[in-house]
Chains A and B, each alone.
Chain A
Amino acid sequence: MPASRVLPTEEAADLIGLVRDLVTKELAPRAAEAEATETFPRDVFRLLGRAGLLGLPYPEEYGGGAQPYEVYLQVLEEIGAAWSSVGVGVSVHALSCFGLATRGTEEQRQKFLPDMLGGDLLGAYCLSEPQAGSDPAAMSTRARRDGDDYVLDGAKAWTTHGGHADFYKVMARTSGEPGDRAGISCFLVPADAAGLTADAPEKKMGLTGSATATMRFDGVRVPAERRLGEEGEGLKIALAGLDSGRLGIAAVATGLAQGALDQAVAYAQERETFGRAIIDHQGLAFVLADMEAAVETARATYLAAARRKDQGLPFSTQASVAKLVATDNAMKVTTDAVQVLGGYGYTRDFPVERYMREAKVMQIFEGTNQIQRMVIGRALAKGAPATLHVTQQQETS
């Protein structure tokens, strides 16, 4: 059952209506099969792109939808409720455009952004390396200046959309040694750059409809006009993007949990034991009630962070809280959904075991939940000021 939502504008409500239509007719019927056969649904992203859903949080002047995060994230949640691989993909695409949109020069934005947001292209971002996950400053991929170009050498691990993307936002070292935070720069690399190849995709536990691959850079030449920000600003750009990306993952995880809850409730109304529907056994109804509370909590938490972002307030700690709460809750809710379906829940004939496998990765990527706690703990140690902010009315056109 679709979640009930509070939306700031009529256009946002229409947008959610459009997304629900697309999701029920085009995504949901295909998810199970594509996940089972580990097939990346490139055409689904084209469909979403044509509907204008791949540029929602970016300015209209570059072809975006000019939607606040409060709305964009609820769109992601709706997609995640039907097919989390696609929800993650839309979030990763948004993240791959973030560096250019926020740190590119006007010239770079005019030149590259409209195509990236236009819906035909799909993006990826390359931060992690085999030896540098939670600690990205440990990266060793190099970008060496050579005339008007940079030449990239190294390997980027775990790239979502690796081998399928049309462009890659890549963090690489322009100076210093692994561990040095200030020597990293950010580049926008087209997929057809010579020397750029993708390994075979990882064999994963879940999220198998989303391709994840190591990207190899073997003397890849990138014109200097494709460097975003100054040399040495790469890690800062990557981490700023991750604050927003974490909100995306929180929203997708909330959708995933909602999807699992819906399956569990529907099943509990049909399945009878001891002469009554299992939802009428208090012991089971309480499991469902806790699942509902977890989903609502997750939604409220990511929306609270999103509204801070939309108001231009610092939101980095809140984004970590949202990512932590939403993904831990999704893990718990999907695990409980398997429990509600009993033995059937443990089979591949029902989708809840898949949801459980998909929830697990949400606790790992875009900063593990240990790293989120580290971010939150550091903020507590620093002591955040207790501000009072009065909401600025959003412009409605």
Chain B
Amino acid sequence: MNIVVCVKYVPDATADRKFEDDNTVDRVGVDGLLSELDEYAVEQALQIKDKQADDTEVTVLSVGPENATDAVRKALQMGADKGVHVVDDAIAGSDALATSLVLAEAIKKIPHDLVVCGMASTDGGMGVVPAMLSERLGVPGVTLGSEISVEGETVKIRRDGDASTDTIEGSLPLVLSVTDQSGEARYPSFKGIMAAKKKPVETWSLSDLGVDAGSVGAGAAWSVVESTDARPPRTAGEIVTDEDGSGAKALVDFLASKKFI
């Protein structure tokens, strides 16, 4: 079986995150890494590979700036077999529609039975790319799986909702997205780190994919971020001192003002 895992290189959530002048996320001047939510996708792909015990191959695919190779490399260190990195200046500022276009065109060039994605990116957080991909590839989309099993040509997932738990099935080829409940991602091993150095990583540009530069990037985006404001720093807590028996009322007023009661 051939599995493609889509991974995104995102700014480190624990570091200082900034925006560019045009309100797109600064992806160059900050420390980045393989999106934690995509680590779950890599993990599921590797678990499927482990269970298949045949010549299943896992290819990681990332669309992103130069340093996005770090995300590809991390996935290879975890155990994926091959990497593809699509990098092109024209892609900067792309919205989810354009990103899914580039991903879909890249996936078409890679042998694939199963495409695995995380549930959302940790920076954009839209969570729509997997559905767009299944549409663009014309295959079923089986999304937000918290438990995944593959038997023959059938992929079965459990999707946990607020009111019910659904079991959903689809047949290959298909696009699968997995949640952060699907199982902790493995750490790379030192052997994995060494082995990753010898694994092939291809770098493709838009022209390699036959994608017109005008159909991606900030210029082609259907949505734009108008403005961003940093969240105000946390203010010190309020201390209620009760000297005359008014404490209870002050507490209730506070909770009511925050709509807790």
Contacts and interface: CB of A to CB of B under 8 A. Distances in A.
Nearest to A119: B189
Contacts of B187: 18, 21-22, 47, 50-51
B119 to A, nearest CB: 20
A14 B73 CA distance: 10
Instruction: Point out which of B77, B187, B189, B190 has the most chain A C-beta atoms below 10 A from its C-beta.
Output: B190
A53 interface: yes
Contact of B190 (A47, A56, A397): A56
- Binding site of B, secondary structure by majority: helix, strand, loop or mixed? helix
Interface string B144-159: 0000000000000000
A50 B192 CA distance: 11
Interface in B175-224: 187-194, 197
A67 B118 CA distance: 35
Contacts of B193: 11, 14-15, 18
B194 A51 contact: no
Interface in A1-48: 10-11, 14-15, 18, 21-22, 47
Interface in A219-254: none
Contacts of A11: 193-194, 197
A50 B188 CA distance: 9
Contacts of B197: 10-11, 397
A52 B191 contact: yes
A52 B189 contact: yes
B189 A15 contact: no
Contacts of A51: 187-190
Contact of B188 (A10, A18, A56): A18
A351 interface: no
A28 B141 CA distance: 40
A51 B193 CA distance: 10
B70 to A, nearest CB: 10
A154 interface: no
B71 to A, nearest CB: 13
A65 interface: yes
Contacts of A22: 187
A21 B193 CA distance: 14
A50 B189 contact: yes
Contacts of B77: 14, 18
Interface residues of A, number: 15
Contacts of B190: 15, 18, 51-53, 56, 65
Contacts of A14: 77, 193
B76 to A, nearest CB: 11
A56 B77 CA distance: 17
Contacts of B188: 18, 51
A52 B190 CA distance: 5
Contacts of A10: 197
A385 to B, nearest CB: 37
A169 to B, nearest CB: 24
Nearest to A75: B190
Instruction: Point out which of B77, B187, B192 has the most chain A C-beta atoms below 10 A from its C-beta.
Output: B187
Nearest to B194: A11
B131 to A, nearest CB: 31
A56 B191 CA distance: 10
Contacts of B189: 50-52
A159 to B, nearest CB: 28
Contacts of A50: 187, 189
A15 B77 CA distance: 11
Contacts of A21: 187
Contacts of A53: 190
Contacts of B192: 52
B234 to A, nearest CB: 15
A15 B187 CA distance: 12
B47 to A, nearest CB: 15
Interface in A359-373: none
Nearest to B14: A24
B50 to A, nearest CB: 14
A397 B194 CA distance: 9
A15 B193 CA distance: 7
B18 to A, nearest CB: 21
A14 B190 CA distance: 9
Interface in A381-397: 397
Nearest to B193: A14
A274 B187 CA distance: 47
Contacts of B194: 11, 397
A18 B197 CA distance: 15
A332 to B, nearest CB: 32
Interface of A: 10-11, 14-15, 18, 21-22, 47, 50-53, 56, 65, 397
Interface of B: 77, 187-194, 197
> Would you list the 7 A-B pairs with minimal beta carbon distance, nearest first?
A52-B190, A52-B189, A14-B193, A51-B189, A52-B191, A65-B190, A51-B187
Given A15-B193, A21-B187, A56-B190, 12 more contacts: A10-B197, A14-B77, A18-B187, A47-B187, A50-B187, A50-B189, A51-B189, A52-B190, A52-B191, A53-B190, A65-B190, A397-B197
23 contacts: A10-B197, A11-B193, A11-B194, A11-B197, A15-B190, A15-B193, A18-B77, A18-B188, A18-B193, A21-B187, A22-B187, A47-B187, A50-B189, A51-B187, A51-B188, A51-B189, A52-B189, A52-B190, A52-B191, A53-B190, A56-B190, A65-B190, A65-B191
